[in-house]
Amino acid sequence: MSTVLELRGVSKSFGAHRAADNVSFSIEKGCLFALVGPSGCGKTTTLRMVAGFESPDSGDVILNGQRINDLPPYRRNVSTVFQSYALFPHLTARENIEFGLQRAGAKDLAGPVAKMIELLSLHGKQDRRPAQLSGGEKQRVALARSLVIEPDVLLLDEPLSALDPNLRKQVRLELKALQRRTGITFVMVTHDRDEALSMADQIGIMNRGNLEQVGSPRELYLQPATRFVAGFLGSVNWMGEVGVRPECVRVESEASSRSRAAVVRDVVFLGNCTHVISRLDSGEEVLAEIAGSGVLFSAGQSVHLSWNTTDELRPRS
Amino acid sequence: MKRLLPLYATFAYAFLHLPLLVLTVFSFNSSKFTVWEGFSLRWYRAIADDPQLMEAAWNSLLIAIVATAFATVIGTLCAYGLWKRDAPILKGSLYVSLVTPEIVTGVSMLAFFQYLFRFMDVRLGLHTVILAHIAFSLSFVVIVVAARLRTVDPALEEAAMDLGATEWGAFYRVTLPALVPGIASAALLAFTTSFDDYVITSLVAGVDSETLPMVIYGMARKGVNPSVNAISALIVLALGVLILGAERLRSDA
Amino acid sequence: MERLRFWFLAPSRLLMAVLFGAPLAIVFFYGLLTRGTYGGQSFPLTDENFARLADPLYLTILLRSFWLAGLATALCVLMGFPLALFIARSGSRKNLFLHLVMLPFWTSFLVRTYAWMFLLRDTGLINTVLQSAGLIHEPLPLLYNDIAVVIGLVYGYLPFMVLPIFSTLERLDPALLEAAADLGARPLSALWRVTLPLTRPGMVAGSLLDFIPCLGAYLTPDLLGGGKSIMIGNLIQNQFTSARDWPFGSALSLALTAIVMVLLWQFLRRKGESFL
């Protein structure tokens, strides 16, 4: 396992606004890394610094051991799939895919291009112009165009946001499969936590320019380093310094050791699960998510809530 | 390349502006040769002392004002009418008038007037010039006002009528005020075009009336005359101030 | 609604019919008439005027008009594109630079043409400067030839080229240039392979806006060409004044107008090909 991309103390400000603050992380080769956070958190800025469209005020961007801060985008072996895909409207799909290869002076374009067309199921569409392609097809052309030049890292800016919502789940799987097949390192920026959790090998969560935590989806979900990370990846019931996720809360009519007494305030049936919102004696409101639909609690009922200590979240900040 | 572009732009702007600047500078030259011999206003005084020039300038102004007034009103009403619903023949004729070469428009009007004058005891003069100017300005005015109309929401007039205004009321109280900047631009365009026109004017002006461009042309044809430098500088200044003023008003609006 | 519209459109309709349609119709009809003994025109109808158009003397003039107008337009494209590019990339000062291009154009076309007479003639500024610098001993014949006419045409119509190209550049998605760089294209390569092809609609529009008035130019070849560079416009004017051959002048007018209309029709037909 080797590190293909590393950021060390990268910062960038736009006027008074600090978009990225001392961001450091490293990505292993062959991994799908998701950079997640709410809009304005600095993830896109960070991505653009890797691509070369912005330059860091301080810190280093290191690709395969080489510092690339001063390299313009056309000299970096990094390729970007833009949110709007940015397909050249005056070229056909095939010509778009060939674009990066023509620069490199490669003689035999047909081979690699044909491979890409196969890989991304674009057969039959290669002679169409972007205006004649569907959203999903445009994305595949954009992917093919970037992948055919064999970049060290493929950067994806909100790859699913421009797609039809009902297509997204399927495309998530396809993208993940594509990454596995090509073995190329993917760095994906998204604001959608489900996308990140389901697709990524490693996740970096950013908030207001700061990288709050880096780790696998499980690590981040079960052992969040900060309250923000905990809250971003799912719901949390906070009781002072400690948090418990709703799905870990057990609701019983009988007390047990370490259970807390509470009164049910609301029961919301959601089909595959039920939300039971109760108020503890100490005043906090706790949301319990109970799987299945056979729940027999009602508002005003006295209940007892409990959970495993191992399920408790204790972020450092 | 990043440095080449501004360098080229400097050269291009110089090409565009130096000729007029040079002309203006030399209009203050005390000698009539193209060597600078000292600052003087003699050519400007020569203009003021030239009755033919003064009368021509007055004619140009009169023609421009009258033609602009008519063209602006007729053109605005036309643009509005076309906005409501298409009138293909009218629209087509406006486009054709826009692209017809000036010389063709000019000679055709000459032929037309001469034909009419067989039946009327009239001759070519200021009135024919004014009519010609109104005709060729019309399409400019319509285009400018139509462009402005595209930014107006048709629902506004519907709202007005819904609240009780008549069609004319809706136009007059809702749409027309919104059009004022466009109408002003169109009027300015018509004015400067009319004031500067030579080709069409020279053909339909007849022997008794002269406009400023005709006089300038005559002087220029005979060779370079320093008075022309002075007139030119004045025209550029006057029109330039007019346009900048209009732009300032427009950006304040 | 209809009544209001009728009255709003009526004056324009009247104006167009009487002062545009009728004159054009008359002139085109005159093309078929014979020249009268004292000028003017009379029956019988004849096609002699149109036949004369094929005379080598007049064909030369026609060809020269195409050549000069085409050359001027091509130069405008070459000069106008980099200028439009500069303006489009000048950030917050775009408006200022754009106005600087348009400003001279909004003043007087006659004055601007005269300015070049002032610069180019034998005792004009350019020759005076070159002579006093000792670079030449006799004035260069810069005025009263084809080159002066082309310079005058380019000077007159350059802004008409810059505007459409600029507006096309403005609508270009900046992400496309980033994508080109991202895929390895150096700035010049990206300009050639992405920006230029996508600016083509603007260049075509500008070329049309330039070529058509240049073809029918009158003042520029008259003042700057001094009778040595006669273009169609001068020829037509001549027929209607000193030569007093209105029928022939009318035939020429019809020919010129027809050429312009064909060019326009071709352009409008292809406009649907725009991929922006």
Contacting residues of B for C107, CB less than 8 Å apart: 20, 192, 196, 235-236, 239-240, 243
Task: Reply yes or no on whether the pLDDT at B240 is more than 90.
Answer: no
| Contact (CB<8Å) C179/A72 | no
Task: Reply yes or no on whether the pLDDT at C133 is more than 80.
Answer: yes
Superfamily of chain region B50-212: MetI-like (1.10.3720.10)
pLDDT given at position B224: 64
Helix, strand, coil fractions of chain A, as percent rounded to 5: 30, 35, 40
Q: Which residue range(s) make up the domain with C92?
A: 52-270
Per the CB < 8 A criterion, the answer to whether C8 and B78 are in contact is: yes
pLDDT given at position C275: 36
Q: What is the mean pLDDT of chain B?
A: 89
pLDDT given at position C36: 74
Task: Reply yes or no on whether the pLDDT at A305 is more than 60.
Answer: yes
Interface test with chain B among C8, C93, C265, by most B beta carbons within 10 Å: C8
Chain A segment 283-312 residues within 8 A of C by beta carbon are none
Per the CB < 8 A criterion, the answer to whether A47 and A27 are in contact is: no
Task: Reply yes or no on whether the pLDDT at A105 is more than 80.
Answer: no
Task: Reply yes or no on whether the pLDDT at C276 is more than 50.
Answer: no
Chain B segment 64-83 residues within 8 A of C by beta carbon are 74-75, 77-78, 80-82
C13's CB contacts (< 8 A; 6+ apart) are B90
pLDDT digits (tens, 9 = 90+) for A129-146: 999 999 999 999 999 999
Chain C segment 44-73 residues within 8 A of A by beta carbon are none
pLDDT digits (tens, 9 = 90+) for C24-63: 999 988 888 887 766 667 777 777 888 888 888 899 999 9
pLDDT given at position A200: 96
Tell me, yes or no, if C2 comes closer than 8 A to chain A by beta carbon. Answer: no
Which residue in A has a C-alpha nearest to residue C184's C-alpha? A74
Residue that is last in its domain, among A187, A209, A227: A227
pLDDT given at position C274: 42
Task: Reply yes or no on whether the pLDDT at A103 is more than 70.
Answer: no
Contacting residues of A for C203, CB less than 8 Å apart: none
Longest dimension (CA), chain B: 72
pLDDT given at position A106: 61
Q: Helix or strand or coil: residue A12?
A: strand
Tell me, yes or no, if A129 comes closer than 8 A to chain C by beta carbon. Answer: yes
pLDDT category of residue C138 using cuts at 50, 70 and 90: confident
Q: Output A247 or C106, whichever has higher pLDDT.
A: A247
Q: How far is A186 from chain C (nearest CA, A)?
A: 15
pLDDT given at position B251: 66
Contacting residues of C for A74, CB less than 8 Å apart: 181-186
CA distance A178 to B240: 63
Q: Which residue range(s) make up the domain with A300?
A: 235-313
CA distance C80 to C1: 46
| Contact (CB<8Å) B109/C19 | yes
Task: Reply yes or no on whether the pLDDT at C66 is more than 50.
Answer: yes
* C77 token code pair: 């494209």
* B227 token code pair: 């008075």
pLDDT given at position C107: 82
Helical segments of chain A, H only: 43-51, 93-103, 110-119, 135-147, 165-182, 193-199, 217-222, 227-233
Tell me, yes or no, if B228 comes closer than 8 A to chain C by beta carbon. Answer: yes
pLDDT given at position C175: 94
Interface test with chain B among C6, C16, C113, by most B beta carbons within 10 Å: C16
| Contact (CB<8Å) A103/C185 | yes
Residue that is last in its domain, among A162, A192, A227: A227
Number of domains in chain A: 2
| Contact (CB<8Å) A51/C275 | no
Cα–Cα nearest to C238, from C255, C254, C218: C218
* B195 token code pair: 């004031």
Q: Is residue C1 part of a domain?
A: no
Sign, CA dihedral C166-C203-C146-B101, equals negative
pLDDT digits (tens, 9 = 90+) for B106-161: 999 999 998 888 888 788 889 999 999 999 999 999 999 999 999 888 888 888 88
Tell me, yes or no, if C182 comes closer than 8 A to chain A by beta carbon. Answer: yes
pLDDT digits (tens, 9 = 90+) for A203-240: 999 999 999 999 999 999 999 999 999 999 999 999 88
Q: What is the mean pLDDT of chain A?
A: 92
- Are there at least 3 beta-carbon pairs closer than 8 Å between A and B? no
Task: Reply yes or no on whether the pLDDT at C19 is more than 90.
Answer: yes
Residues A171 and A286 placed together within one structural domain of the fold: no
Per the confidence metrics, is the pTM higher than 0.90?
no
Q: What percentage of chain C exceeds 90 in pLDDT?
A: 58
Q: How far is B77 from chain C (nearest CA, A)?
A: 5
Q: What percentage of chain B exceeds 90 in pLDDT?
A: 45
The pLDDT of A181-198, averaged and rounded, is 95
Tell me, yes or no, if B34 comes closer than 8 A to chain C by beta carbon. Answer: yes
CA distance B132 to C233: 18
pLDDT digits (tens, 9 = 90+) for A249-300: 999 888 888 899 999 999 998 888 999 999 998 888 999 999 876 667 888 9
The pLDDT of B170-191, averaged and rounded, is 90
Task: Reply yes or no on whether the pLDDT at B184 is more than 50.
Answer: yes
The CATH number of residue C213's host domain is 1.10.3720.10
Cα–Cα nearest to B79, from B185, B210, B193: B185
Residue that is last in its domain, among A211, A227, A243: A227
Contacting residues of C for A100, CB less than 8 Å apart: 183-184
Q: Output C136 or A219, whichever has higher pLDDT.
A: A219
pLDDT digits (tens, 9 = 90+) for A55-96: 999 999 999 999 999 999 999 999 999 999 999 999 999 999
| Contact (CB<8Å) C9/B90 | yes
| Contact (CB<8Å) C184/A74 | yes
Residues A158 and A75 placed together within one structural domain of the fold: yes
Give the orientation angle of helix B212-221 with respect to helix B51-84, to 10 degrees.
130
Neighbours of A28 (CB within 10 A): 14
Which residue in A has a C-alpha nearest to residue C274's C-alpha? A90
Number of domains in chain C: 1
pLDDT category of residue C259 using cuts at 50, 70 and 90: very high
φ/ψ of residue C54, rounded to 5: -80, -5
Q: In what order do the strands lie in the sheet with A78-81?
A: A78-81, A153-157, A185-190, A32-36, A202-207, A210-215
Sign, CA dihedral B106-B107-B110-B115, equals negative
Tell me, yes or no, if C174 comes closer than 8 A to chain A by beta carbon. Answer: no
Residues A209 and A93 placed together within one structural domain of the fold: yes
Helical segments of C48-133, H only: 48-52, 56-88, 94-106, 109-120, 125-132
Go through A110-135 and write b for each residue having 16 or more CB atoms within 10 A of its CB, e for each that does not: eebbeebbebbebeebbeebbeebee
pLDDT given at position A142: 95
Contacting residues of A for C175, CB less than 8 Å apart: 82, 84, 86
| Contact (CB<8Å) C104/B1 | no
CA distance B249 to A205: 51
User: Secondary structure of C156-177 in the HEC alphabet?
Assistant: HHHHHHHHHHHHHHHCCCHHHH
Q: Helix or strand or coil: residue A211?
A: strand
pLDDT given at position B220: 87
The pLDDT of B62-87, averaged and rounded, is 93
| Contact (CB<8Å) C233/B167 | no
The pLDDT of A111-125, averaged and rounded, is 91
Q: Is residue C34 part of a domain?
A: no
- Smallest Cβ–Cβ distance between C181 and the set A73, A89, A131 belongs to A73
The helix or strand, by DSSP H or E, that contains position A10, with its residue range, turns out to be strand A3-14
ipTM score: 0.88
The pLDDT of C192-217, averaged and rounded, is 93
Q: What is the DSSP letter of A73?
A: G
Task: Please state whether the peptide bond connecting residue C44 to the residue before it is cis, i.e. omega within 30 degrees of 0.
Answer: yes
Contacting residues of C for B2, CB less than 8 Å apart: 187
Of A135-144, A196-205, B15-24, B215-224, least confident by mean pLDDT is B215-224
Look up residue B148 and give its amino acid: R
pLDDT given at position C39: 64
* C2 token code pair: 């209809």
The pLDDT of C92-102, averaged and rounded, is 90
